[in-house]
């Protein structure tokens, strides 16, 4: 059985003082691409061990996914909350030591939680954006590329650091991230 290790940090200062919101959660949704194959992972709440410290930490158990009719054992830890919408936690993958340059991880993000200058895209994009991080070949800027509507928007990393939800990136870890429209649904 193939083993894919994904280091993840699951932490949210915003929700650390109120645990009631997590009682309503049904699934944890994680999306990533492995060798050009896309996986949507939904973890049931029973699959998550809750650990409480100053912030909320979540340790995800090892689980299996199907890949080309083969079971891949996915070991996840260190996960960070990027947004919470519709009883689904949208997660961010950070500090990924990818053994394969072709391995790319995608994270669903809540675009509606961005500040006002991004709201012009909200009605078009809603939650159909995926944060695509390629740690080996990063551009110099963030590019918002929505091919469905022929919308292209280039922004700097610092423009995203002030967001209270969605992204909390450190320029020390990532120089740039590329935002790409993905799985568009009418």
Task: Report the C-alpha gap between 19 and 61 in whole angstroms.
Answer: 20
- Could you tell me if 158 and 144 are in contact, meaning their C-beta atoms sit under 8 angstroms apart? no
pLDDT in tens, 3-19: 333 333 333 444 333 44
- Domain extent for 108: 2-181
pLDDT band of 27, cuts 50, 70, 90: low
Report yes or no on 30 lying in a domain: yes
Report yes or no on 123 lying in a domain: yes
What pTM does this model have? 0.25
Report yes or no on 128 lying in a domain: yes
The pLDDT value given to residue 29: 52
- Could you tell me if 61 and 50 are in contact, meaning their C-beta atoms sit under 8 angstroms apart? no
Report yes or no on 88 lying in a domain: yes
Domain count, the chain: 1
Report yes or no on 186 lying in a domain: no
């Amino acid at each position: 059985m193939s083993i894919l290790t994904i280091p993840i940090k699951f932490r949210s200062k915003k929700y650390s003082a109120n645990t009631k919101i997590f009682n309503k959660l049904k699934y944890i949704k994680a999306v990533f691409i492995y060798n050009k194959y896309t996986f949507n992972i939904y973890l049931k709440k029973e699959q998550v061990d809750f650990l409480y410290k100053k912030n909320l930490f979540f340790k995800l158990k090892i689980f299996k996914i199907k890949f080309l009719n083969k079971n891949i054992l996915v070991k996840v830890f260190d996960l960070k909350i990027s947004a919470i919408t519709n009883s689904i936690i949208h997660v961010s993958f950070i500090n990924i030591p990818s053994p394969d340059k072709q391995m790319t991880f995608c994270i669903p993000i809540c675009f509606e939680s961005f500040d006002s200058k991004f709201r012009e895209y909200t009605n078009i994009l809603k939650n159909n954006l995926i944060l695509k991080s390629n740690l080996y070949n990063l551009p110099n800027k963030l590019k918002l590329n929505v091919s469905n509507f022929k919308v292209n928007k280039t922004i700097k990393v610092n423009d995203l650091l002030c967001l209270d939800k969605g992204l909390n990136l450190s320029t020390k870890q990532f120089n740039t991230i590329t935002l790409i429209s993905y799985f568009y649904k009418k």
